[in-house]
Homo-oligomer: A and B are copies of this chain.
């Protein structure tokens, strides 16, 4: 089975509504799965920590606000309805000046801080 027994099935997911219902920032919540991949929504504000995911690319789709992704050679700004894929192994830092809601897509089991660990590491595998 490719679908979690805990997750919603055959339901339409309103991404902004789901993101808005998360109780705190920087806490990704799973809203759907596709094979071994997960769709997560998150509310962010301020700067995250630099990290990378050596094992996977990571996709970001902005729902509301503006996401800044700092990369080794500069920053990209991602607005609503825009998609950006951070290639595997590339150091990056997400940030936003005002609260921003976004969706991330990545394989199941990927931690938000990659292999950095530390206090910014969110609980993984939590559905909303």
- Chain A residues within 8 Å of B, Cβ to Cβ: 2-3, 9-16, 31-35, 37, 39, 56-59, 61, 63, 71, 76-79, 81-85, 87-88, 103, 105-107
Contacts and interface: CB of A to CB of B under 8 A. Distances in A.
Contact of A2 (B57, B76, B106): B57
Name which of A2, A12, A16, A87 has the most chain B CB atoms within 10 A of its CB: A12
B39 A88 contact: no
A14 B84 CA distance: 9
Contact of A12 (B33, B83, B88, B106): B83
A3 B87 contact: yes
A83 B10 contact: no
A10 B71 contact: yes
A34 B76 contact: no
Q: How many copies does the complex hold?
A: 2
Contacts of A16: 81
B35 A76 contact: no
A76 to B, nearest CB: 6
Contacts of A84: 11-13
Contact of A13 (B34, B82, B105): B82
A22 to B, nearest CB: 16
Name which of A34, A87, A88 has the most chain B CB atoms within 10 A of its CB: A34
